[in-house]
């Protein structure tokens, strides 16, 4: 057996939730950097199936860490929601940004690494065994005894499976394709319009929507097109996702057969879920994300904040039960919003009563007219400069060490 390496915090997974956890711990105290090891089976920049939309909630968490978005991004100035022949829009400057996950995740991880965190890539975790005083984590190359393990390993979390996590969490289904486009000749690119089309709820029994996200891949304009099926009502029959995507693309004069379909689940958030066991906490998709719209990046970043406070507290008190981690998550405003979205998903995707959905649609359309989202100049993000000073001092202390 390989030599055992002792570590205070072992983070499994280097997506946004894993990196955010490391960065938030360092924000609490720069000395944490040397106490963290991050492992990932992939090597960055790695592909991650995702629309890449980051809302102001995620951008504001980055800003509070003193980070301005550096990877190339596409500003969405209008989010247009369609249902049958009706539509309404959210406006903003921007409403949200679209990034490529391979670039974004790599960038965020490099931020943690540059502050002194040990990052081990291309090293999958193959076993996890909790003990009273430590958790043994076996990877393809080493054995660790960690005082705390953070499972940031996504919707199909290996850690969850290995530890036979006993809650009945569910997953949403998503498929997507990338289609080459003309770029600024098209209104979506020229005016920055992202589309969420809920019509397949009626035409294909989908519990979700079809999306068109304009983006750039290595400088080339590409439309990210996909279908989100929340399965918020698991008792209803499953929609045929490839057929839904095919029909929606045909309406936009694209043939699905010309492109490669890729799919991946998103684990739902549930307030009744189990978020921790002694010495192990879940973050990001391993813990759960949004069943209404499929938003996960902002929540992945937010778990880093709540999780880091719980870990600092555990070490301070010498109590690694994480008995209050769930309460901490539930008390956080970001996750209170996730709870609202979970309720809304169950209501909105109540297919048996489409008239109810139409009614809700009309109400939402009216409400938006009275919010700041009607204003194309509305800036929902906070500038990183506000907090850069604070965290910047902490960071420079670390890099000087």
Ligand X SMILES: Cc1cc2nc3c(=O)[nH]c(=O)nc-3n(C[C@H](O)[C@H](O)[C@H](O)COP(=O)(O)OP(=O)(O)OC[C@H]3O[C@@H](n4cnc5c(N)ncnc54)[C@H](O)[C@@H]3O)c2cc1C
Interacting residues toward ligand X by CB under 6 A: 12-18, 39-42, 48-53, 124-125, 152-154, 158, 174, 176, 226, 264, 266, 284-285, 289, 294-298, 300
* 8 A C-beta contact, residue 65 and residue 23: yes
Least Å from the CB of residue 17 to ligand X:
3
CB of 257 to ligand X, least distance (A): 20
Mode of pairing for the β-strands spanning 280-282 and 143-151: parallel
In degrees and rounded to multiples of 5, residue 153 shows phi and psi of -105, 30
Element (H, E) at 77: strand 73-83
Measured from the CB atom, is 266 or 276 closer to ligand X? 266
Return the number of the residue (260 or 377) whose C-beta is nearest ligand X: 260
* Minimum CB distance to ligand X smaller for 84 or for 240: 240
Burial of 90 by CB count in 10 Å (0-12 exposed, 13-18 middle, 19+ buried)? buried
Query: Rounded CA gap, 374 and 172, in Å?
Result: 30
Q: Residue 281 CB, nearest distance to ligand X (Å)?
A: 13
Nearer of residues 176 and 305 to ligand X, judged by Cβ: 176
Smallest separation, CB 355 to ligand X (Å): 30
| Exposure class string for 184-195: b at 16+ Cβ within 10 A, else e | eeeebbeebbbb
Give whole-number Cα distances, 320 to 133, 160, 360, in Å. Answer: 9, 18, 45
What's the closest the beta carbon of residue 217 comes to ligand X, in angstroms? 14
Which residue, 167 or 319, has its beta carbon nearer to ligand X? 167
CB of 13 to ligand X, least distance (A): 3
Q: Shortest Cβ distance from residue 162 to ligand X (Å)?
A: 9
Q: Residue 203 is encoded by which pair of tokens?
A: 């035409």
Of the two residues 64 and 224, which places its CB atom closer to ligand X in the complex? 224
Task: Output 41 or 77, the one with its CB closest to ligand X.
Answer: 41
φ/ψ (deg, to 5) at 235:
-75, -15
Q: Which is nearer to ligand X, 142 or 388 (CB)?
A: 142
Residue sitting closest to ligand X (CB)? 296
Are the beta carbons of 374 and 53 closer than 8 angstroms? no
Residue 319 CB, shortest distance to ligand X, in Å, is: 26
How far is the C-alpha of 348 from the C-alpha of 198, rounded, in Å? 10
Query: Helix H segments across 115-222?
Result: 158-162, 187-191, 200-203
Nearer to ligand X, 179 or 394 (CB): 179
SS3 (DSSP) at 317 = helix
> Residue 60 in 3-state DSSP?
helix
Q: How far is the CB of 400 from ligand X (least distance, A)?
A: 29
- Angle value at C-alpha 149, between 308 and 45, nearest 5 degrees: 80
Where would I find the H helices in 29-83? 56-64
């Amino acid at each position: 057996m390989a030599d055992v390496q002792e570590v205070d915090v072992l983070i499994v997974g280097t997506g946004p939730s894993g990196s955010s956890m490391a960065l938030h711990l360092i924000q609490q105290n720069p000395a944490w950097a040397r106490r963290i090891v991050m492992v990932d089976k992939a090597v960055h920049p790695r592909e991650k199936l995702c629309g890449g939309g980051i809302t102001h909630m995620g951008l504001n968490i980055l800003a509070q860490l003193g980070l301005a978005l550096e990877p190339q991004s596409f500003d969405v100035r209008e989010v247009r929601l369609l249902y049958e022949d009706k539509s309404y829009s959210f406006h903003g400057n921007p409403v949200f940004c679209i990034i490529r996950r391979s670039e974004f995740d790599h960038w965020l991880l490099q931020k943690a690494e540059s502050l002194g965190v040990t990052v081990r890539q291309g090293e999958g975790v193959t076993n996890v065994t909790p003990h009273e005083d430590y958790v043994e984590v076996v990877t393809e190359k080493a054995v660790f005894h960690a005082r705390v393990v953070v499972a940031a390993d996504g919707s199909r979390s290996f850690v969850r499976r290995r530890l036979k996590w006993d809650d009945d969490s569910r997953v949403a289904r998503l498929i997507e394709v990338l289609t080459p486009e003309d770029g600024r000749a098209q209104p979506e690119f020229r005016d920055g319009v992202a589309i969420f089309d809920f019509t397949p709820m009626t035409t294909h029994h989908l519990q979700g929507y079809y999306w068109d996200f304009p983006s750039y891949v290595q400088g080339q304009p590409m439309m990210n097109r996909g279908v989100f099926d929340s399965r918020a009502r698991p008792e209803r029959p499953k929609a045929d996702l490839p057929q839904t995507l095919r029909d929606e693309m045909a309406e936009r004069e694209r043939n699905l057969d010309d492109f490669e379909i890729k799919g991946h689940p998103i684990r739902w958030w549930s307030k009744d879920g189990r978020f921790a066991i002694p010495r192990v906490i879940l973050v990001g998709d391993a813990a759960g994300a949004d069943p209404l719209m499929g938003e996960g990046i902002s929540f992945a970043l937010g778990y880093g904040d709540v999780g880091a406070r719980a870990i600092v507290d555990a070490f301070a008190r010498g109590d690694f039960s994480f008995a209050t981690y769930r309460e901490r998550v539930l008390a956080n405003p970001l996750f209170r919003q996730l709870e609202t979205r979970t309720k809304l998903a169950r209501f909105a995707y109540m297919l048996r009563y489409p008239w109810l959905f139409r009614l809700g649609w009309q109400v939402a359309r009216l409400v938006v007219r009275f919010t700041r989202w009607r204003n194309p100049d509305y800036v929902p993000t906070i500038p990183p400069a506000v907090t850069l000073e604070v965290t910047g001092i902490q960071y420079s202390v670390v890099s000087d060490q």
